[in-house]
Amino acid sequence: MENVDLSIVIGGPQGGGIDTASNMISKAFAYSGYNVISVREFHSNIKGRHSYVHLRVKNSQVRSLKYPVDILVALDPDTIFEHHEDISKGTRVLYDSDFETSELSQARMIMRDTSRRIKEMLEAGGHPLNIKGVLEYMRAKGAVPIPVSFGNVVSAAVSDGTPTRYFNTFGAAVTLAVLGIEKNYVEKVIRSVFGNKEKVIAPNIKVVDAAYDYCSKNNLRLKTLADLEMGKKMLLTGNDGSAIGKVIGGLRFQTYYPITPASDESTILEEHEDIKWIDGENSNLITGGVTVVQAEDEISAVNMASGAAMTGTRSATATSGPGFSLMAEAISFAGMDEIPLVVTLYQRGGPSTGLPTRNGQSDLLFALHTGHGEFPRMVISSGDVQECIADSIRALNYAQRYQLPVIHLIDKNLANTTELIDAPDIKDLKIEGPVKSDGKDSFSRFTLDTKDGISPIGYFGKDIFWLTGDEHDEKGHVTEDTWMRDRQMEKRFHKIETAEKEIPVSDMALLFGPSSADVTFMTWGSQKGVMLDVIENLKSKGIKANLLYIKMFDPFPSKYVSEVLNKAKTVIGVESNMTAQACKVIKMNTGISIENLILKYNGRHVTEDEVFDAALRIIKKKEKVVVLENGA
């Protein structure tokens, strides 16, 4: 069978239906049996500026994205301007022929700095400062522009007087027709996307028909893709995965204040507040609904979640950098009073408002040290959509088992990654509960009489005990007694020692690839899939590589990480931040310094090709630190 490996970018104005178009493409390929992964990149303004989705489709496992692309689909002139470097020989550039008169000076939605760089590029090549000039540049690199009159074709298909509202459907349909996806799958997607809205479905299907007819008449089809067999799969984002994992894990109360990119998780939960397991097949799981509350700010959100947890309800909140800053004091309170609280921290570019809709991994050290004073917390990280589900379940279980705040890190790239994954198997899943009190009128909530540091937990409405922000005795009464202070601090931190003994090392860190290698990469978060593909590519060059992948940062798997790194010949850290924060954590816990680094902090997703090239530069001893700068 022919190997299928296609990279696609579809771009247009923010609010112009880019998500719908990319979902159509992803779902149509998925229905055809192909694996697909995509990342949504969008500007922080509400409407108008350039947004795009980068997709990759394969008939084998797909874990990362790469440039150059095979298909560039432009739903506005800005996409052609912004992605002029993302093409190569053979790239098809699908665009509306009406764009050809667009001047760079008229592209008001392109950032000034970006516009200046495009202008310099065109002038250096002697090209006019307009779309025709960019197309000349692309042709010189071997790209094949394909002009299509979107307005004429769509207007002939539907006559409601607003053809532009269908341009995203038309662009997606042309893309799928060119790539050889059968039309029936596209129509199936239309019905899936628009549900029972027949008034919307009918004209969109007409547009799909028009797109396929146009491509057929103009001989635009590049290939015919055979249908493949595929088992039970789910097309999910990282936000979806986290929400699903929380529901499976027994979440019953979630709070949030709107913030990018965290809000999507809570809105997904809001859409599924009533939970019913079919035919009681998962009767071993907690049943009922999920209550979701949009608070007035993040301080209220985290305190509401803590209050709900004190009643015995599995509770969580979700936020991003600025919101997490506001939660710091309340997280300290949860640490002092041993409250089982989950905080899902979606990382984005900072500091301050920074890059509110762009990727980053710069909150790791903040998560490890947030809040004043010393208290135990757990910090875990996910690297793909499947892990978002599993780790959300683990976070809730850890919080309940060890009675402490658990911070779950998901970077923006992963939050907005759409991935085709196997449906989670939850038949044998057990929801672990805390050690409960016996319901006495008064009991020692913070008893020191424990071998593992974990006291019986009490619940408001059932048990009588005291909670304050101060140090306390066993019943919760405020104390400044030196002996009691020492014992309570030691008891709280003893829980982390217990966790280190109980949690499997495989849930804390993993080594992918051979145990002995020429190069050992270290990464965490959404670079996981990229690095696994890079290792495969290096193998084809005769270079044996493996990957140390970190999943838990507190408690940290110091012994295991030390064993792996002490065996390594050349170690390269790969992170989406400027200061190599995970490398700092490794040095802090093991004393081992990682000197070779591949870093990206411009807010865009990391791709296979750029890491592969950077790795070769380091392996050949040309550089020790490579900063990646790709991205529109």
**pLDDT 10s digits, 550-567:** 999 999 999 999 999 999
| Whether the Cβ atoms of residue 335 and residue 405 lie closer than 8 Å to each other | yes
Q: What is the pLDDT of residue 340?
A: 97
Mean pLDDT in residue range 49-62: 95
Buried b (16+ CB within 10 A) or exposed e, 406-444: bbbbbbbbbbbbbbbbeebebeebeeeebeebeeeeebb
How do beta strands 315-320 and 291-294 pair? Answer: unpaired
Same domain, 410 and 529: no
Q: Identify whether 397 is part of a domain.
A: yes
User: For residue 438, is pLDDT > 90?
Assistant: no
Q: Which domain holds residue 69?
A: 5-217
Q: Identify whether 281 is part of a domain.
A: yes
Mapped onto helix, strand or coil, the DSSP state of residue 438 is coil
Token digits for 180? 């050889």
| Whether the Cβ atoms of residue 342 and residue 401 lie closer than 8 Å to each other | no
How do beta strands 35-41 and 92-96 pair? Answer: unpaired
Q: What is the pLDDT of residue 440?
A: 63
Beta-bridge mates of residue 9: 54, 72
Give the span between the Cα atoms of 213 and 154, in whole angstroms: 12
Same domain, 32 and 165: yes
Same domain, 498 and 511: no
Q: 């995970």: which residue's tokens?
A: 582
Domain edge (last residue) among 422, 452, 485: 422
Same domain, 367 and 311: yes
Q: Identify whether 223 is part of a domain.
A: no
Mean pLDDT in residue range 261-278: 84
Mean pLDDT in residue range 155-173: 92
Same domain, 306 and 383: yes
Same domain, 50 and 174: yes
**Cis-peptide into 424, omega within 30 deg:** no
Q: What is the CATH number of the domain that holds 88?
A: 3.40.920.10
User: For residue 287, is pLDDT > 60?
Assistant: no
User: For residue 288, is pLDDT > 80?
Assistant: no
User: For residue 434, is pLDDT > 70?
Assistant: no
Share of the chain above pLDDT 90, in %: 83
| 486: region left, alpha or beta (phi > 0 left; psi from -120 to 50 alpha) | alpha
From 260, 340, 347, 252, select the one nearest 293 (Cα to Cα).
252
pLDDT in tens, 191-206: 988 887 888 999 999 9
Mean pLDDT rounded to a whole number for the chain = 93
Same domain, 248 and 200: no
Mean pLDDT in residue range 76-83: 95
pLDDT in tens, 571-582: 999 999 999 999
Share of the chain above pLDDT 70, in %: 95
Q: 């875990």: which residue's tokens?
A: 380
Q: Identify whether 227 is part of a domain.
A: no
Domain edge (last residue) among 480, 503, 526: 503
User: For residue 490, is pLDDT > 60?
Assistant: yes
Q: Identify whether 222 is part of a domain.
A: no
Mean pLDDT in residue range 623-629: 96
Q: What is the pLDDT of residue 195?
A: 81
Same domain, 270 and 167: no
| Whether the Cβ atoms of residue 212 and residue 184 lie closer than 8 Å to each other | no
Token digits for 447? 């008893």
Same domain, 256 and 355: yes
Give the span between the Cα atoms of 207 and 368, in whole angstroms: 52
Q: Give the CA radius of gyration of the chain.
A: 26
Domain edge (last residue) among 387, 422, 457: 422
Q: Identify whether 429 is part of a domain.
A: no
Give the span between the Cα atoms of 147 and 116, in whole angstroms: 26
Beta-bridge mates of residue 10: 53, 73
Number of structural domains the chain divides into: 4
Same domain, 58 and 194: yes
Least confident segment among 245-259, 272-286, 399-413, 607-621: 272-286
pLDDT category at 424 given cuts 50, 70, 90 is: confident
Mean pLDDT in residue range 499-523: 97
pLDDT in tens, 89-124: 999 999 999 998 899 998 878 999 999 999 999 999
pLDDT in tens, 126-144: 999 999 999 999 999 999 9
Give the span between the Cα atoms of 48 and 51, in whole angstroms: 9
Same domain, 485 and 510: no
User: For residue 16, is pLDDT > 90?
Assistant: no
Q: What is the CATH number of the domain that holds 612?
A: 3.40.50.920
Q: Identify whether 415 is part of a domain.
A: yes
Give the span between the Cα atoms of 230 and 355, in whole angstroms: 38
Q: What is the DSSP letter of 25?
A: H
Same domain, 122 and 184: yes
